[in-house]
Amino acid sequence: MNQINQRFIKVLISITFLSIAIGLILIALQDNLVFFHSPSEVKEKKFLSTQRIRVGGLVIKNSVNFSPSKAIVSFQITDLNENLQIVYQGILPDLFREEQGIIAEGYLISEDSFEADQVLAKHDENYMPPEIAETLKEK
């Protein structure tokens, strides 16, 4: 074999190994690349009760129930196809509202119930803190 063929084979082998390495990395990180799962995805996929996941959706109107004695909040989220019951113990974020987007992180208790240990309220790019909005209204 001449030198050009040897170089071509080395490049081909290097590209093959690099492609395999990138593929394995993407497979390993696949679950971490998804920021959150919708209620429909949660029902389609079979998550283990020991698997920590993030779910996101819109809080359904009139679904929020507070238990003041234990600081437990339960509510339902939807992706307009499926609903998922969320149970959370703690203080909700200031931006938490019915019919607003949230992301909850925790564990699936059953097919229809999720126990969150962290709740994040989503807002759009037009969000403005209330204090600033009030100041702008005055001007």
Helix (H), strand (E) at residue 103: strand 101-110
The continuous run of DSSP H or E covering 16 comes out as helix 3-33
The number of beta carbons lying within 10 Å of the beta carbon of residue 137 is 7
Q: What is the mean pLDDT of each run of 10 residues along the chain (139 residues)?
A: 84 94 84 76 86 90 86 90 92 87 91 92 63 61
Evaluate whether 120 touches 103 at the Cβ level (below 8 Å): yes
Which residue, among 49, 34, 61, has the nearest Cα to 113 in the 3D structure?
49
DSSP state of 14: H
Please, are residues 82 and 70 in contact by the beta-carbon 8 Å criterion? no
Amino acid 130 reads P
Model pTM score:
0.66
- The pLDDT tens digits for 26-65 are 887 776 666 788 898 888 888 888 888 989 889 999 999 9
